[in-house]
Amino acid sequence: MSIQPPLEPHEGIVDPAENVENAIELKEVEGLSQGRIVLRRFVRHRGAMISAVVLTAVVLLVTTSIGWGPIPGWWQYGYKELNPIVNAGGAPTMGFDGGFTVGSHPFGQDNVGHDGFALVMRGTQQSLTVMVVIGLLSTTIGVVVGALAGFFRGRLDDLLMRFTDMIITIPVIMIGAILGVLVGGANPWSLAVALSLVSWTNMARLVRGQFLTLREREFVDAARVAGASSARIMFKHILPNAVGVIIVNATLLMASAILLETALSYLGFGISSPEVSLGQLINEYQTAFATRPWLFWWPGLFIVTIALCVNFIGDGLRDAFDPRQRRIPTRRALAKADARKARARAKATASA
């Protein structure tokens, strides 16, 4: 959602008496737009903020290290290069060897000499691509289907919702596997598009519910009386009000998308060799778990980190968009406020 421009400071209020009636609850949102309120609540959510930082760091690392498209990389090895094995068995060079050392292969090497770090970076790139594409595409499909069904109701609604039901009844992993094989596994883009086609259903239902609720609100009637067309009501009036639900659900969808991709690749239906993804890496090296566990642990760690971060951010967004969310003040904040008040009182008595 767009962050609204900052508001002008309070000026020229005509009727002071009417201003007084603004309730105490409004004090928190005084002079702020909806977008700013949400942003403020989000920034307060500690888990979400840490996750946002971690996720940004991961994305930065992944994009710059081995390079991505036009972005040049600073890491010395490519993910397809075969290098001489440095440590015995390709063990990681990173560790505490009289002080912290990174070495030339910090995540280790596999038996033929691929650099573990480069592989994991490349795998994360692919998994992130799949995640973002699924997130955007299935959100779009879901929003369009849900909006049409919820707004027009009637026969169109029945039709769209039965179609949605049909897709829901088939296990996603099964359709995903079939589509994945059909479109050919090597390309993450086509896999992402294929998975998007089956993962929009939940979004469609939620958006439909939102539209059904919002279309009964009086401001929609007001817009209608003002002469607004159906398209304008849908996109200008209803959609911005449903944006909270959409964003939250999109984030959670992305978290499950990365797990879905991993699962498919692990099963061998997703991205396949020579291309790498996190799931594919795990699949490829599961047999080497006993001898070269680092090949298994690092991709696993990245999957868990990304999924966790995205979930936390989704959680933070949900709290931020929920207008009923009341923050229960912490004890420290309470003590601070009390101290401030006592000081103010002391000052007042001193001056008097």
Partner 1 sequence: MTTDYATGGSPAAPGPDAKAPILEVRDLTVEFFVDGEWFPAAVDVEYDVRPGEVLAIVGESGSGKTQSSMSLIGLLPPNGRASGSARLAGRELLGLNHKQLSSVRGKDVSVIFQEPMTALNPVYTVGFQIVETLRVHFEMTPKEARARAVELLRLVDLPNPEEAVDKYPHQLSGGQRQRAMIAQALACEPKLLIADEPTTALDVTVQAEILKLMRDLRHRVDAGIILITHDMGVVADLSDRVMVMKNGRVVESGTSDEIFNRPQHTYTRQLLDAVPHLGSETLAAQGLHGDHPVAEGAGALRVSERPLGQPLQRPGTLDASQTGYALEASGLVIEYPGRGRVPAFRAINGIDLAIGKGEVVGLVGESGSGKTTVGRAAVGLLPVAGGSLKVNGVELAGIKPKDLRAVRQDVSIVFQDPGSSLNPRLPIGESIGEPLKLHKIASGADLDRRVESLLDRVHLPRAMRNRYPHELSGGQRQRVGIARALALSPKLLIADEPTSALDVSVQARVLELFQELQREYGFACLFISHDLAVVEILSNRIAVMNKGDLVEVGPRAQILRAPQQDYTRRLLAAVPVPNPAEQKLRREERDRLLAAAAPAGTSAAQAAVADGQRVQAFEDEQITNAGRYEGNIRPRGPVDGGSV
Which residues, 70 to 129, sit near partner 1 by CB under 8 A? none
- Contact between residue 65 and residue 117 where contact means Cβ atoms under 8 Å apart: yes
Selection from 325, 317, 323, 243 nearest residue 51 by Cα = 317
C-alpha–C-alpha distance, residues 231 and 228, integer Å: 8
29 binds partner 1 (CB under 8 A): yes
345 binds partner 1 (CB under 8 A): no
Site size with partner 1, rule: CB under 8 A: 75
Which secondary structure element, helix H or strand E, spans residue 254, and what is its range?
Answer: helix 239-267
Of 54, 61, 223, 259, which lies in the binding site for partner 1, with binding defined by CB under 8 A?
A: 223
| Of 31 and 89, CB closest to partner 1 | 31
Neighbours of 50 (CB within 10 A): 14
Which residues, 297 to 336, sit near partner 1 by CB under 8 A? 326-329, 333-334, 336
Contacts of 44 (CB under 8 A, 6+ apart): 327
154 binds partner 1 (CB under 8 A): yes
60 binds partner 1 (CB under 8 A): no
230 binds partner 1 (CB under 8 A): yes
Segment near partner 1 (CB under 8 A); pick from 63-71, 153-161, 177-185, 270-278: 153-161
Of 151, 200, 285, 302, which lies in the binding site for partner 1, with binding defined by CB under 8 A?
A: 151
- In angstroms, what is the minimal distance from the CB of 307 to partner 1? 24
C-alpha–C-alpha distance, residues 106 and 288, integer Å: 18
Distances (CA, A) of 103 to 66, 109, 168, 294: 16, 12, 49, 15
347 binds partner 1 (CB under 8 A): no
| Of 215 and 318, CB closest to partner 1 | 215
Selection from 261, 78, 95 nearest residue 185 by Cα = 261
- In angstroms, what is the minimal distance from the CB of 67 to partner 1? 41
